């Protein structure tokens, strides 16, 4: 027996009510769920997110540039203590402070110090590890920390020595380039290779 008009109408209504909503409107998504416009980020918030991302990328780049600065410092030291190259890594009022190893301030004194180092150590290899670089909030300066393990040969006695210590450096942006304002090295031992640090913690190697 064919369905009546009323049966066909009832079936169509039931089908429409059970079918998924596919049309978009101002308040619903494709699933039919209502969208809370208040939860969407505003143009201002999206702009801030872009700025925050750019600032974070700039800070990451600054940290990498500081790592390269320290690596270049080690390279210059290990290539015969290139005084010109090393001084170019410091600000005009830069300081190298090695505690019992001496303190030198300003590029003129720094240049004399580095220029004399080949008369103290005829060979040196700087290994710096455990780097920790923390930028100031304004991104214009930073503190860098590294451990130092250095193998070297004394000029006067042609003797193999070990040097270990910790660098705590102050690095600043100087005319667009990162430079050392203060390099501080706290030596833990400076010992003959054959005797070791337990027997001879600090060897006098002054030229």
Domains of the chain by start residue, with CATH: 43-199 (3.10.450.50)
- Asked if residue 138 lies in contact with residue 58, where contact means CB atoms within 8 angstroms, the answer is no
Is the pLDDT confidence value at 59 over 50? Answer: yes
Question: What value, to the nearest 5°, has the Cα angle with vertex 39 and ends 36 and 45?
Answer: 145
Tens digits of residue pLDDT in 120-158: 999 999 999 999 999 999 999 999 999 999 999 999 999
d(CA 18, CA 58): 54
Greater model confidence, 53 or 22:
53
Nearest CA among 72, 79, 81 for reference residue 180: 72
Partners of 90 in the beta sheet? Answer: 180
pLDDT at 159: 96
Tens digits of residue pLDDT in 85-133: 999 999 999 999 999 889 999 999 999 999 999 999 999 999 999 999 9
The stretch 38-62 carries a mean pLDDT of: 72
């Amino acid at each position: 027996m064919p369905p009546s008009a009323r049966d066909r109408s009832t079936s169509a209504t039931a089908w429409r009510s059970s079918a998924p909503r596919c049309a978009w409107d101002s308040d619903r998504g494709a699933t039919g769920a209502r969208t809370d416009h208040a939860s969407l980020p505003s143009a201002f918030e999206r702009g801030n997110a872009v700025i925050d991302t750019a600032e974070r990328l700039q800070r990451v780049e600054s940290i990498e540039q500081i790592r390269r600065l320290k690596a270049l410092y080690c390279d210059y030291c290990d290539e015969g203590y290139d005084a010109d190259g090393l001084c170019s890594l410091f600000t005009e009022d830069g300081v190298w402070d090695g505690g019992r190893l001496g303190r030198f301030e300003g590029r003129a004194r720094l240049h004399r110090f580095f220029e004399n180092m080949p008369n103290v150590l005829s060979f040196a290899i700087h290994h710096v590890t455990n780097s920790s670089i923390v930028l100031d909030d304004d991104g214009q300066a930073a503190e860098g920390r590294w451990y130092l393990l250095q193998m070297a040969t004394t000029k006067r006695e042609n003797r193999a020595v070990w040097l270990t210590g910790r660098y705590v450096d102050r690095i600043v942006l100087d005319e667009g380039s990162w430079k050392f304002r203060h390099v501080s090295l706290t030596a833990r031992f400076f010992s003959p290779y054959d005797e070791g640090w337990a027997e001879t913690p600090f060897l006098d190697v002054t030229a």
